[in-house]
Chains A and B, each alone.
Chain A
Amino acid sequence: MFTGLRNLWQKLFKPPPKLVAFPEVFEHFQDLLQDHQKIMETIADLGEKSGGEYVFDRKYLLDTVNELHSLLLRLVKGLNLISGNRYLELYTTLDRIMLPLEAELRGRLSLTEEMPYVVALKDAPLDLPELVGGKAGALMEIIQRLHLPVPDGFVVTTRAYRRFLEHNQAEERIHSLLTAWISEKLDTMQISRQIKYALLAGVMPQEVAREIRREAQSRPFWAVRSSAFGEDGELSFAGLHESILQVPSAGVLEAVKKVWASLYSPQALSYRRQVGLLGEEAAMAVLCQEVIASRASGVAHSLDLEAPESDVLVIYAYPGLGRTVMEGRTNLDRFVVERRQPFSIRAKNIVKKESYRQVAPGGGEAEVTVSPEERERPALAEEDIQTLARWSRTLERYFKRPQETEWALDEKGQLWILQSRGLTSPKPVEAPDIYESCSTYTVLIRDQGAVAHAGVGAGPVFVVSSDHDLEGFPEGAVLVTRYTAPWLAPVVPKAVAIVAERGSPAGHLATIAREFRVPTLVGVENAVALLPAGQDITVDTHNRLIYQGRVAELLRYELIQSTTFEDTPEFRLLRRLLKRVAPLNLTDPQDQNFTPAGCRSVHDVIRFVHEKAVQELMDLPRFLKRFKEARVCTLVSEVPIGLKIWDLGGGIDPQAKGSQITAAQIRSLPLRALWEGVTLPGVWSTEPVAVDFKGLMSSLTRTLGEDLSAQDYLGINLAVVTETYLNLHLKLGYHYNLIDVRMDPDPHHNHIYFRFVGGVTDFTRRTRRARLLADILSRYHFKVDIKGDLVLARILHLPQEEVRRRLIALGQMVGFTRQLDMQLKSDEDVEHFLEVFVQCLEPAGDPKSTQGGKNGTEQIENPHPGR
């Protein structure tokens, strides 16, 4: 359909692009800005919804994606109207980005996008349990999110399984056998044997075989296991499917087929019939992992479900390979450990070990007899118990369920996680009366702030006021902070909960908190004062309550009773959609990838369109023609930069006459704020600048239209404004500065983009200056990137007042950089200017934000911890 639309456009606009009249361009530009805003808002909205505070269904996602699509089409159309169709390629870009999104929604991704046959655990995409199965999916998250040690491996995906069926035309056959079974024409054993035979005799398609072999070559032996979707989730297929250990690399292909065939073992078939799953198409991914020749192995239960209220975790251990443990053939060492740091051991029960199994030198397993004096030695040392206890709790915190974790200790003494799944209770756990139990606890903060990520977490309060505090942040603490600055990112995975005084659920920290599933409340006034540092609190963001102490009943209730919303299909789908919508990859307009083809997300598209729309307005030859009709004024000010202001509406006092205005006549909120900073005493220069006022005035009174040459244009300092928008191009000395701002009453609309490049000095000095600017911007919580002498910074979704503060600071910085250009000669000067600047910043900036160090020197040593 979109190809059709595109052709239509091409036909309609084939005639040579003529210059569109200014009033029309202006109107399109305004519309475009509005659509841009709406899309930004929708993206922020989707991000917020993924935090768990909202209840939504699949239909909401469908509607939102449809709306995004129509807005994007309009946006692209708008840019083409402004530019005389110079960006028709964007329609292809939209197709490329939107079609997979729509396919995701229909649940038919595998048909529209080539999903891989084989993926490596360490870099496979998350949130695709249908592709890799539950077991492998969990391991990927453990590796990629939690960075805990998991043996290397790969997954043969469900797509490979489907390809295998297709290649062997087995689907039909399985279907008819199953039908015969359901109508009881064949008994379970018979059909199981027949289906298994069909699968085992099947030929592995070349393209699948090639990929499996390539991965399997890397190690001599593999553990090959089933990873069925739902297997480790709500349904328990545990033990029903095949696991084959010690498979030599040449045997992996056959082993994979065996595991596939185990989908149709008599037990698996009966179980699927029992739970009513037969109607659904079975598909299985296969997990292949390096074999750990283990000295000891076992299982950790993060909570003793037999007695949840005892608040302990249990670790079982036995020497040698894990099979003995999992098959439950022997009595095992049992360690009962407290669930909290320092994980003290409450009880241990050491069994007598007669023999154990270990890896035989040439592969396979061998039975080893234990010498009499070794028989009563514990299978696990105390420090290993502590490590396992800590991991067990980390896993539980992330997966939001009590965990059953298989582990192994290798010959070198290194611990590994083999797999982890939700621990299901042997008997129904009695539901506590949660309301009653919670009501006995003291509430410290009630009904405050907005939920960035839903959940419950308890731990000691740790206040972070600068990046200096980050190193001391203990695992399992509650992060309490005034800001939601990007530099907090490194401690997010360690936090059990986050409470911030500022920030929005659409902000950067909220996004990271969601990635690591950390319960987070933002905008909680006075949190730092109200929450006692070092003392335990319990944060319940579902009900926006913060309790004093640990509300053990609530923590248990969440673990055992409550829904883990993160794992519901709706949330997984939303997260997959977000990956194609929210990331911003195109940050630098000068980058060679800043093209329609370079757009990888919806955010990229709108960033591209926005930038190009502004550029179109600035386009030199067109600009000169349009200029006659545009209202451009010159700002008369003691700061002699001859700023031209192009008002697109509401940016200048309507009473202002003629081509000159004063700062007092600026109505554009962002320009006013910026100019306030520029004109603060001491900013423009520390020395009084001798200004010949007459000369200055005469140079300013010349209007642009009269004698504007290309030369003048290049040096022009131009602000395009509306009441709430500013696009500022500054060419001061030899550097070029672009500032793009929106400051609406609704924080979701707001952004500041800052770009700074250039200078005639040598490269070292330029990069030094770039770092200096980056330091200053980081202090204002901008997300900053520097490439050589280029500084890119952005900050999103701030309330108007916060945008204003930052603009004042940027204004000061603009003046400051001019001084830099003139006076920055040595390293000492850098220090000196930073000090001067920080001092003059203090009154304008939020004093709280600059408490990081006495004079900011700590931030220079480690200016970008978040990057």
Chain B
Amino acid sequence: MAQSRLKILILDDEPIVCKRLKPSLEKQGFEVDTFTRTFEALQAVQNTKYDIIITDLKMEGMDGMRFLQEAKKIHPDSEVIVITGFATMETAKESFKKGVFDFIAKPFNLSEIQRVVMRAEAKIQGTQGKP
């Protein structure tokens, strides 16, 4: 597999989410960076292009939404997966119909997010494959 790995950024202010997701996605063959603070994640997207961004919506400090918008501004073709609590799911869906690859409700299981990431990967490789 000489082809370069897809890079994933995970942002969630609950460290447990990052800790659990990172090894699971690494084993699927992705390069994974995790952040619990929005401004650090923002710095990271300015320096690196992430193919897939996984972010929580409601966090202290900068809102997940704003982070999303900023990240998309810098790299419009990053695929964004939003993880969010059940309560905010509907609002999230409404306001993010555009630009967000998929939503996952918390709590979620690992195979669930693995599947969504694989679909995002397929989409990215599909578009890259085009001339």
- A interface residue numbers (CB < 8 A to B): 49, 53-60, 63, 434-436, 438-439, 447, 451, 454, 540, 542-544, 554, 557, 561-563, 565, 568-570
Instruction: State whether A543 touches B24 (Cβ < 8 A).
Output: yes
Docked pose: A562 CA to B14 CA in angstroms: 17
Known contacts: A55-B21, A543-B24. The answer to whether A436 contacts B1 by CB under 8 A is yes
B107: which A residues are within 8 A, CB to CB? 49, 54-57, 60
Instruction: State whether B17 touches A435 (Cβ < 8 A).
Output: no
Contact of B110 among A53, A59, A447 (CB under 8 A): A53
Instruction: State whether A543 touches B21 (Cβ < 8 A).
Output: no
> Scoring B residues 85 to 106 as 1 if CB is less than 8 Å from chain A, else 0, what string do you get?
1110000000000000000001
Instruction: State whether A53 touches B111 (Cβ < 8 A).
Output: yes
Task: With both chains docked as a complex, state the minimum distance between the C-beta of A376 and any C-beta of chain B, in angstroms.
Answer: 46
- B interface residue numbers (CB < 8 A to A): 1, 14, 16-17, 19-24, 26-30, 85-87, 106-111, 113-114
A49: which B residues are within 8 A, CB to CB? 107
Docked pose: A554 CA to B110 CA in angstroms: 18
How many contacts A-B (CB < 8 Å)? 79
Docked pose: A53 CA to B22 CA in angstroms: 14
Question: Which 10 A-B pairs rank lowest in CB-CB distance, beginning with the nearest?
Answer: A56-B107, A435-B29, A57-B14, A563-B19, A562-B23, A55-B20, A53-B109, A54-B109, A60-B107, A54-B107
Docked pose: A49 CA to B21 CA in angstroms: 15
Task: With both chains docked as a complex, state the minimum distance between the C-beta of B20 and any C-beta of chain A, in angstroms.
Answer: 5
Task: With both chains docked as a complex, state the minimum distance between the C-beta of A211 and any C-beta of chain B, in angstroms.
Answer: 36
Offer 21 A-B interface pairs, CB within 8 angstroms, sorted by A: A54-B108, A55-B16, A55-B21, A55-B108, A56-B16, A57-B107, A60-B85, A60-B106, A434-B26, A435-B27, A436-B29, A451-B110, A451-B111, A542-B23, A542-B110, A543-B28, A544-B111, A565-B20, A568-B19, A569-B16, A570-B16
Instruction: State whether A59 touches B85 (Cβ < 8 A).
Output: yes
Docked pose: A58 CA to B16 CA in angstroms: 10
Task: With both chains docked as a complex, state the minimum distance between the C-beta of A452 and any C-beta of chain B, in angstroms.
Answer: 12
| 10 further A-B pairs in the complex, CB-CB below 8 A; given A60-B85, A447-B111 | A53-B109, A54-B108, A55-B107, A56-B106, A438-B27, A439-B1, A542-B110, A543-B110, A565-B19, A568-B19
Which residue from chain A places its CB closest to the CB of B114 in the assembled complex?
A: A543
A435: which B residues are within 8 A, CB to CB? 26-30
Instruction: State whether A58 touches B114 (Cβ < 8 A).
Output: no
Task: With both chains docked as a complex, state the minimum distance between the C-beta of B106 and any C-beta of chain A, in angstroms.
Answer: 6
Contact of A57 among B27, B29, B106, B111 (CB under 8 A): B106
B23: which A residues are within 8 A, CB to CB? 542, 557, 561-563
A563: which B residues are within 8 A, CB to CB? 19-20, 22-23
Docked pose: A544 CA to B26 CA in angstroms: 14
Docked pose: A451 CA to B1 CA in angstroms: 29
Docked pose: A59 CA to B20 CA in angstroms: 16
Docked pose: A563 CA to B34 CA in angstroms: 14
A60: which B residues are within 8 A, CB to CB? 85, 106-107
Docked pose: A54 CA to B106 CA in angstroms: 9
A540: which B residues are within 8 A, CB to CB? 27
B106: which A residues are within 8 A, CB to CB? 55-57, 59-60
Task: With both chains docked as a complex, state the minimum distance between the C-beta of A157 and any C-beta of chain B, in angstroms.
Answer: 26
A562: which B residues are within 8 A, CB to CB? 23
Docked pose: A454 CA to B106 CA in angstroms: 18
Task: With both chains docked as a complex, state the minimum distance between the C-beta of A221 and any C-beta of chain B, in angstroms.
Answer: 42
A554: which B residues are within 8 A, CB to CB? 27
Known contacts: A436-B1, A439-B1. The answer to whether A57 contacts B28 by CB under 8 A is no
Docked pose: A565 CA to B86 CA in angstroms: 23
Known contacts: A57-B106, A434-B26. The answer to whether A568 contacts B16 by CB under 8 A is yes
A56: which B residues are within 8 A, CB to CB? 16, 106-107
Instruction: State whether A57 touches B17 (Cβ < 8 A).
Output: yes
Task: With both chains docked as a complex, state the minimum distance between the C-beta of B110 and any C-beta of chain A, in angstroms.
Answer: 6
Instruction: State whether B27 touches A542 (Cβ < 8 A).
Output: yes
B24: which A residues are within 8 A, CB to CB? 542-543
Task: With both chains docked as a complex, state the minimum distance between the C-beta of A572 and any C-beta of chain B, in angstroms.
Answer: 11
B16: which A residues are within 8 A, CB to CB? 55-57, 565, 568-570
Docked pose: A439 CA to B23 CA in angstroms: 16
Question: Which residue, A53, A57, A561, has most C-beta atoms of chain B within 10 A?
Answer: A57
Known contacts: A439-B1, A568-B19. The answer to whether A55 contacts B109 by CB under 8 A is yes
Task: With both chains docked as a complex, state the minimum distance between the C-beta of B75 and any C-beta of chain A, in angstroms.
Answer: 24
Task: With both chains docked as a complex, state the minimum distance between the C-beta of A433 and any C-beta of chain B, in angstroms.
Answer: 9
Docked pose: A554 CA to B114 CA in angstroms: 18
Question: Which residue, A58, A434, A439, has most C-beta atoms of chain B within 10 A?
Answer: A434
Contact of B109 among A439, A451, A568, A570 (CB under 8 A): A451
Task: With both chains docked as a complex, state the minimum distance between the C-beta of A506 and any C-beta of chain B, in angstroms.
Answer: 14
A434: which B residues are within 8 A, CB to CB? 26-27
Docked pose: A561 CA to B20 CA in angstroms: 11
Task: With both chains docked as a complex, state the minimum distance between the C-beta of A635 and any C-beta of chain B, in angstroms.
Answer: 45
A58: which B residues are within 8 A, CB to CB? 14
Docked pose: A562 CA to B20 CA in angstroms: 8
Which residue from chain A places its CB closest to the CB of B87 in the assembled complex?
A: A63
B27: which A residues are within 8 A, CB to CB? 434-435, 438, 540, 542-543, 554, 557
Question: Which residue, A49, A60, A563, has most C-beta atoms of chain B within 10 A?
Answer: A563
Docked pose: A582 CA to B23 CA in angstroms: 30
Contact of A55 among B17, B28, B87 (CB under 8 A): B17
Task: With both chains docked as a complex, state the minimum distance between the C-beta of A561 and any C-beta of chain B, in angstroms.
Answer: 6
Task: With both chains docked as a complex, state the minimum distance between the C-beta of B104 and any C-beta of chain A, in angstroms.
Answer: 9
Task: With both chains docked as a complex, state the minimum distance between the C-beta of B115 and any C-beta of chain A, in angstroms.
Answer: 9
Task: With both chains docked as a complex, state the minimum distance between the C-beta of B108 and any C-beta of chain A, in angstroms.
Answer: 6
Docked pose: A562 CA to B23 CA in angstroms: 6
Docked pose: A543 CA to B106 CA in angstroms: 19
Docked pose: A447 CA to B27 CA in angstroms: 14
Docked pose: A493 CA to B114 CA in angstroms: 30
A439: which B residues are within 8 A, CB to CB? 1, 29
Docked pose: A749 CA to B106 CA in angstroms: 22
Docked pose: A544 CA to B28 CA in angstroms: 12
Docked pose: A175 CA to B107 CA in angstroms: 40
B19: which A residues are within 8 A, CB to CB? 563, 565, 568
Instruction: State whether A55 touches B26 (Cβ < 8 A).
Output: no
Task: With both chains docked as a complex, state the minimum distance between the C-beta of A86 and any C-beta of chain B, in angstroms.
Answer: 37
B110: which A residues are within 8 A, CB to CB? 53-55, 451, 454, 542-543
Question: Which residue, A56, A63, A454, has most C-beta atoms of chain B within 10 A?
Answer: A56
Task: With both chains docked as a complex, state the minimum distance between the C-beta of B31 and any C-beta of chain A, in angstroms.
Answer: 10
A565: which B residues are within 8 A, CB to CB? 16, 19-20
Which residue from chain A places its CB closest to the CB of B19 in the assembled complex?
A: A563
Docked pose: A454 CA to B19 CA in angstroms: 14
Task: With both chains docked as a complex, state the minimum distance between the C-beta of B85 and any C-beta of chain A, in angstroms.
Answer: 7
Task: With both chains docked as a complex, state the minimum distance between the C-beta of B117 and any C-beta of chain A, in angstroms.
Answer: 12
B111: which A residues are within 8 A, CB to CB? 53, 447, 451, 544
Which residue from chain A places its CB closest to the CB of B29 in the assembled complex?
A: A435
B26: which A residues are within 8 A, CB to CB? 434-435
Docked pose: A601 CA to B28 CA in angstroms: 41
Which residue from chain B places its CB closest to the CB of A542 in the assembled complex?
A: B24
Docked pose: A634 CA to B107 CA in angstroms: 49
B108: which A residues are within 8 A, CB to CB? 54-55
Docked pose: A56 CA to B84 CA in angstroms: 11
A59: which B residues are within 8 A, CB to CB? 85, 106
Task: With both chains docked as a complex, state the minimum distance between the C-beta of A736 and any C-beta of chain B, in angstroms.
Answer: 44
Docked pose: A525 CA to B14 CA in angstroms: 36
Which residue from chain B places its CB closest to the CB of A544 in the assembled complex?
A: B111
Docked pose: A54 CA to B112 CA in angstroms: 9
Which residue from chain B places its CB closest to the CB of A435 in the assembled complex?
A: B29
Docked pose: A447 CA to B28 CA in angstroms: 13
B87: which A residues are within 8 A, CB to CB? 63
Which residue from chain B places its CB closest to the CB of A45 in the assembled complex?
A: B107
Question: Which residue, B26, B27, B87, has most C-beta atoms of chain A within 10 A?
Answer: B27
A568: which B residues are within 8 A, CB to CB? 16, 19
Which residue from chain B places its CB closest to the CB of A436 in the assembled complex?
A: B1
Docked pose: A646 CA to B117 CA in angstroms: 52
Docked pose: A266 CA to B109 CA in angstroms: 46
Task: With both chains docked as a complex, state the minimum distance between the C-beta of B60 and any C-beta of chain A, in angstroms.
Answer: 13
A447: which B residues are within 8 A, CB to CB? 111
B22: which A residues are within 8 A, CB to CB? 563
